[in-house]
Amino acid sequence: MKIKIRYTIFLMLIFSSLAFSQESSLIPFPNKISQKGGVFLISAETKILANAPAAIQAAELFNSWLNQTNGYTLPIVASVVRKDRYIAFSALTDTSEKYLLKVRRKYVLLEGGPAGLIRGTSTLLQLAFQSLENKGQISCLKIYDQPKFGYRGVHLDVSRHFLSKEFVKKYIDLLAIYKMNTFHWHLTDDQGWRIQINKYPRLTDVGAWRSGSMSGPYRNQKFDSIPYGGFYTQSDIREVVNYASQRQITVIPEIEMPGHSLAALAAYPEYSCLGYVKEVGRGWGGYEDVFCVKDSTFTFLEDVLTEVMELFPSKYIHIGGDECPKERWSKCPNCANTRFENNLRNDEELQSYFIQRIEKFLNSKGRQLIGWDEILEGGLAPNATVMSWRGIEGGKAAVRSGHQAIMSPGTHCYFDHYQGERATEPLAIGGYTPLEKVYAYRPIPDSLTKSEQKLILGAQANLWTEYMYDEKQV
């Protein structure tokens, strides 16, 4: 109940800031909008006209959101009479995300394909909520809208601090309200493995739990001794993926490798270089223990990814690939043997070999690999997509070599940074990312050619949870 109340209050706070001007305060702002004379009155007596399955699904989603924000739902009917005020959801066969929204004195028409209807529903909800400030009145207008970028993502780290399935679903609702179409679910890291893998039960029996956590700023290196953990069953995963699909959001899982893997190695230390790992990580920094580059490790990872792909129908699988320390590799005889057998000159090329081998496996299953921009080091895997987080140079390098990229620079897209004066905000990891800076960000660098620009798929915001201790703070 507390989560639902907080979520409702959060929505109301968001939308109350927009109520000053209905047509000018829509987020994101539509491609084309024209104001008409008059108003449409929306109230509990308004009806929803919907017949086709896609239209009914969008109408039911609108009702769900409307109940959260306005406190009532509307009857969904197959026909209306002349005296009725109604909102018509009209389903087209279009596979794009574009939609048409007309608000007239007597009716509202929302028209689009399955994805377009959901995007238009988000706009309609914003208008409906803003109408509370105007005695239920929505200004008559016409909106034509479609997104510029095919990839509009938001990330959530559940490894550092675990978040309930119910909260993840509410997080997805917030993404949908702002017309995001991708949810990047960071499921594994040094501090916890959060996804059930049937073939390797110790991943959650051991890897999902740590003996304590860092408390206070990283520089203090202080820890509590409170056991902490949690994980999602495969049933939970399917439920979340289905929930997102109903909102036309794709869920991309991230299974970290070769670094950021201490939780997995605590469960199965035989895939480390030393053959021994003490425990799941308690601190927020990185760790020297990473996956050993040997055949048995790839067998293990392919088994894991096979189960992951059975749960996630997404085109992309994210494998991390970032911040991989190489101290263990440099002294490991198994890694040395892999370097020798594959004519690799150094550990950077060994990392590239690791990523390319995983990519070949994913490609053989009809999937594509995404990784953070460190996967450029030592040579980029042939079909990989780069997620550029250390500024924009990684994205530029990727597209200039003919690869696709998603822009996610920490300067603009890291939502775990401070958003105001540090003295007035809870402890954060650092940085400064105010709202206006995020909203003004444009993902395509001016220095790219037109052909290179086409390889920028879009942008993504990232939310890491080292210093986000509960769902309210997230």
Q: How many CB atoms lie within 10 A of CB 278?
A: 11
Q: Where are the domains of the chain?
A: 2-145, 151-461
Per-residue confidence of the chain (474 residues) as pLDDT tens digits? 555 555 655 555 444 443 345 566 899 999 999 988 899 999 999 999 999 999 999 999 999 999 999 999 999 999 999 999 999 999 999 999 999 999 999 999 999 999 999 999 999 999 999 998 889 999 999 999 999 999 999 999 999 999 999 999 999 999 999 999 999 999 999 999 999 999 999 999 999 999 999 999 999 999 999 999 999 999 999 999 999 999 999 999 999 999 999 999 999 999 999 999 999 999 998 899 999 999 999 999 999 999 999 999 999 999 999 999 999 999 999 999 999 999 999 999 999 999 999 999 999 999 999 999 999 999 999 999 999 999 999 999 999 999 999 999 999 999 999 999 999 999 999 999 999 999 999 999 999 999 999 999 999 999 999 999 999 999
Predicted structure pTM score = 0.94
Superfamily in which the 151-461 domain is placed by CATH? Glycosidases (3.20.20.80)
At 20 the pLDDT is 41
Secondary structure in 3-state letters for the chain: CHHHHHHHHHHHHHHHCCCCCCCCCCCCCCCEEEEEEEEEECCCCCEEECCCHHHHHHHHHHHHHHHHHCCCCCCEECCCCCCCCEEEEEECCCCCCCEEEEECCCEEEEEECHHHHHHHHHHHHHHHHHHHHHCCEEEEEEEEECCCCCEEEEEEECCCCCCCHHHHHHHHHHHHHCCCCEEEEECEECCEECECCCCCCHHHHCCCEECCCEECCHHHCEECCCCEECCECHHHHHHHHHHHHHCCCEEEEEEEECCCCHHHHHHCHHHECCCCCCCCCCCCCCCCCCECCCHHHHHHHHHHHHHHHHHCCCCEEEEECCCCCCHHHHHCHHHHHHHHHCCCCCHHHHHHHHHHHHHHHHHHCCCEEEEEHHHHCCCCCCCCEEEECCCCHHHHHHHHCCCCEEECCHHHHECCCECCCHHHCCCCCCCECCHHHHHCCCCCCCCCCHHHHCCEEEEEEECCCCCCCCCCCC
At 418 the pLDDT is 96
Give the catalytic positions in this structure: 189, 260, 323
At 22 the pLDDT is 59
CATH architecture of 2-145: 2-Layer Sandwich (3.30)
At 6 the pLDDT is 57
- The closest of 255, 282, 280, 256 to 266, measured between CA atoms, is 280
All residues at 6 or more sequence positions from 259 whose CB lies less than 8 Å from its CB, including other chains: 286, 290, 291, 320, 321, 322, 323, 324, 325
Q: Which two tokens stand for residue 283?
A: 């601190």
